[in-house]
Structure formats: C-alpha cells, structure tokens
Structure 1
C-alpha cells in the first residue's frame, strides 16, 4: 500500500476540527487524523507492506522549466514563507515535522527523494512492485498508474478513508474511456487548474475522451491536425495547432517518473514501534495518546 501522504494529511487537516490540540495549544488535527486514517486503512485492507510517500520537492524545477505555470498559483508570497515554498494553511505546516517524526518512531517507511514529488516515488514503487499495489490518494493524476496486468489500483477517498472509490481499468474505461497510460493524454488535453496545467483551450474532459477514442492517443490526435481528411472540427484543429508547444512538453510534466533513485528502506508493516521511547515522548508532547494507541493496536493485531 502506497500512501500519497500529503494528500491524506491535507484531508485530515480539513476533516478534523482544529480544536484538536496538543497540551501546549498547538493544533494537531492533521497528525491525529492521519494516524487514524492509517489505522483504518491497515484494519480494512491488511497490507503486508506500507510506504508513506513524501513530497521532497512539491514543484520540481525540471517540471517548471517545461511549463512555468506548473503549480505556480500555489507558491506563497515570498516575503511570507520564503522563495518557492508551497502555500499551506498556517496551522498545518508546523504539523508536518510532527507527522514525519511519529511515522519514523512507529516504524512506518517514509520515502521522499530530492527533486521529485511523492507521485514520482509512488510511480517508481508501483511500476517495480512484485505483487498487488493499492495507491491511496485524492489525486486523480495517479490514475495513470492503474494496471490490471500489474495489479495496481487507486483507492480514492470519498469520506475519510472508510469509504474509498476503488479504481481499476474497468472503472477508468467506464468513467473516462481510457486505460491508465491513456489517462496522461486525457489529463494534459483537459488541463488541471489545481496544478497550473492550461490544457488545450476548448477541449474539456468529454471532448478529450472522444478525440482519444477516435485517434488512439495524443500522437494520433496531433497527426490528425496535419491531415486535412481527418474529422476534426475547424475549431479543434486550430486550437490543437496553436497548442503544439504545450502538447510537446506536457507529457513529461504530467507523466509520473518511474525511475526515481530510491533510498534503502524497509516497507514491512511494523508490529511493534521502532523507537518506543521517542514515540512515548511524542505522544506526551503532542497529546497523541488515543490516536497512537489505536494505530499500534491495529498494527499489532
């Protein structure tokens, strides 16, 4: 089981009241919510291995070089948080180091690689896994990793993590008309304002799906632009033609990396805490007793 950790702690932060605080008054709603999320996921799905994948670089330079608008709207005012740092709620950012320390003390593998997003870590692990893979994320971009052949599917949280939309190839085809790799072409044509991807003007999700159905893939669509006999409408032909520069680089930006140089780590789900003393200190300092006990009881079961 691969966790898109930031996606989950954002959901925890907004799903658990910020009145949930440590003894010193510091909000710990994201920390406690994430611990409960992980406990519920382990309880419901019993994975043998679990990896909390992290954003060591949430906006890699190599992606920004290709599409400067990539996640640009998420960059906070430099004077407030420093250059090119992601704008996150004031009371969430201080909770991230606590989350990292707790995961380490519990013994849950936490993997992030400089220059890459969590999506890229997930892409590398999912692509090279030897057995079934469940990817837990609220990010539709990771639908591109869905593969029945590799037994890779996405578990998309609908309400907490107790209700998950299980996405396999059949679901992708029914909902979007594409398979996993085809989702990259669909996503870049459609665009994604939340990631600063402009897409091709005038081509939304339904139109993109119809074009992919008619011409196979992005290369087939662009070949149709140059074929006067193709059935593209004049408007579609014009907009695709004008978007050639974007279409040329977007696949590299949208497609997750599958060759990230990963550090050594142990993905085995721990039965006992790796560092009980540190975990006790963290539990006392941040008021995590109940959430931690629930998680540890589930891991030990």
Structure 2
C-alpha cells in the first residue's frame, strides 16, 4: 500500500487531555456542571483541546485511546508502578464515561484494551498506520517520544492554548540529543517519578544522556562498565535488576491486541449528531466549542 501524503491520522491520548482539561478549569475551585448537576469541566476542557488540535493539524483521520483501569501488565511486573498516584478527583469520575460518549458523537472511535495502557494502544496503532500514512500523536507525555519515526510525529501539549511542541526525528535530536530508541534507555537509567519506578538511583538525565551518546544503548553501557567512572559504575552495578525492569516498564508495546481500520476513523463530524448529544448532556457552553 503506497503512502497517501494528503492523509494523516491523529492518535489522541484521551486521559492526558481529560485530566489537563479538568485541572485547567477547576484550579479556581469552580466546577462547571450540566443542568442535571453532573460535573462537565473535564469533558469541556478535553473538547477544547481536541478541537484546537484538529483545527491546527487538520488530520483526515482520528482515533482516541484510553486507559482501561489501573491494573495492567506493568503493575503485575512491578507492584509500585504508578502507586504514587492518588485516586481521581471525585468530580472527574462521572466524566470518564461521559467523555467517551461525547467522543463517539463526533464519530471518533474510542480504543482501549484492559491490561494495557493507552500508550500501548497508541504505539500499536502508530506502527500499523505509519507505513501508509502520516501519524501524529497528541499527548502531554514525553514517554511517547520513543514512538517518533520518519512518518510519526509526537505533538506535546504545552501550557496555554494552541501551544505545541512537535517532535520529529530532527527536533528530537536537536532538543534531547537522543534517538527515539534512546528515550527508552534514558527512562531505564533515570526512572520516572510520575510512573513511580526508580531506574538507577543517583543517575540523572544529564549523566544518562552522556552515557547514551557515548555507548548508544544500555547494552553498550553494560559492555563497557570497566571504562565508566568508578561512582557511575558502582551505581549501575548495584541496580542491575532494577535497570532491566525499568527498561521493560518504559517500553511502549507495539503489539497490543487492538485494531482500527483507516476507513473506520475518517474524520467527519455530523453536526446534528453532536448537537443532539450536547442537548442530552444539557450544558449550553459545549455548543460554543463547535462554532
């Protein structure tokens, strides 16, 4: 199948947009509610970000990927994985199902697999689509930078409206001095405080990047332990098991049991269907978002 240069698929990290939308609109303590009293601010913020990205990047196809609960193969391998995260805010809980209903009303497929994270669904779909069409991943999560390739860009949402950093192979190398594969090795060495796995205690991003620039990957570093500064070598030798585990936890799976044919995610909003959903939700502010 040849690549169609006019087509592009936007893979959306649903939870990243929902949580960002929730905190951006609730920081003052005010929670928007529907006429039925249901909190709506996370859904409102999610839609605002999604529609802004659609307007900015003009995809021809869209898929929205979701986490399906906190138990995944990663928590089975490492019980403390993400255990540092408190429960979701109470007002956000009823919005988890609602946001998917709203997404579906835009004819955007919702994709998620129990036991896997949204990242794994995005990684799997990105690899499926990228030989045939341009892929753009919308997220706030720098872990996704490992998915960048010749035909896949990662769009990191930054603070403020319409503020994006688009990572290609070139911009990734310019900014981080790393290849996509080395992003995984970096996480293996430094760990991830947000996901609560430690990597190698005492090794920060600067040292890790220097090691990767010199020895390419963790295998190369381990082959050259004898050449490393004594302190760095001792830290790595003391944490070999955790280094390998952290590397595994950091690796986004490209073989999650998920599929969505390109023709099933063509972007075509049916305005009447969306308005009918908004009427059912009973929050007038939503209509303004679609102009």
Q: TM-score, normalised by structure 1?
A: 0.85
Unaligned 5+ runs, structure 1: 77-86
Deviation at 1:170, TM superposition (A): 2.1
Using a 3 Å threshold, how does the CA distance of structure 1 residues 44 and 280 change in structure 2: closer, same or farther?
closer
Deviation at 1:288, TM superposition (A): 3.6
Aligned match of 2:170: 170
- Helix, strand or coil for the counterpart of 2:16? helix
1:54 touches 1:118 (CA, 8 Å); kept in 2? yes
Aligned match of 1:83: none
- Helix, strand or coil for the counterpart of 2:127? helix
Runs of 4+ in structure 1 off by over 6 angstroms are none
Deviation at 1:263, TM superposition (A): 4.3
Deviation at 1:46, TM superposition (A): 1.0
State the aligned residue count.
Answer: 275
- Helix, strand or coil for the counterpart of 2:91? coil
Q: CA RMSD, aligned part only?
A: 1.9
Aligned match of 1:22: 34
Deviation at 1:38, TM superposition (A): 1.6
> Among residues 265, 268, 271, which one is paired with 1:270 in the alignment?
268
Deviation at 1:281, TM superposition (A): 5.5
User: C-alpha separation between the residues in 1 aligned to 2:15 and 2:81?
Assistant: 18
1:12 touches 1:29 (CA, 8 Å); kept in 2? yes
User: C-alpha separation between the residues in 2 aligned to 1:152 and 1:288?
Assistant: 36
1:244 aligned onto 2:247: no
User: C-alpha separation between the residues in 2 aligned to 1:132 and 1:96?
Assistant: 29
Q: TM-score, normalised by structure 2?
A: 0.88
Deviation at 1:160, TM superposition (A): 4.2
User: C-alpha separation between the residues in 2 aligned to 1:264 and 1:154?
Assistant: 19
Deviation at 1:152, TM superposition (A): 0.8
User: C-alpha separation between the residues in 1 aligned to 2:15 and 2:119?
Assistant: 10
Unaligned 5+ runs, structure 2: 1-9
Deviation at 1:16, TM superposition (A): 1.6
1:20-51 deviations in Å (ceiling 9; x for gaps)? 21113332111111112121111111100011
Aligned match of 1:286: 281
1:34-77 deviations in Å (ceiling 9; x for gaps)? 112121111111100011111124441x2123322211112x5x
- Helix, strand or coil for the counterpart of 2:155? strand
Using a 3 Å threshold, how does the CA distance of structure 1 residues 44 and 206 change in structure 2: closer, same or farther?
same
User: C-alpha separation between the residues in 1 aligned to 2:170 and 2:259?
Assistant: 34
User: C-alpha separation between the residues in 2 aligned to 1:59 and 1:160?
Assistant: 32
Deviation at 1:235, TM superposition (A): 1.1
> Among residues 44, 47, 50, which one is paired with 2:59 in the alignment?
47
Using a 3 Å threshold, how does the CA distance of structure 1 residues 263 and 125 change in structure 2: closer, same or farther?
closer
1:199-253 deviations in Å (ceiling 9; x for gaps)? 111110010000001111110111122xx3x1x1111111101111112222221
Aligned match of 1:197: 197
Aligned match of 1:109: 109
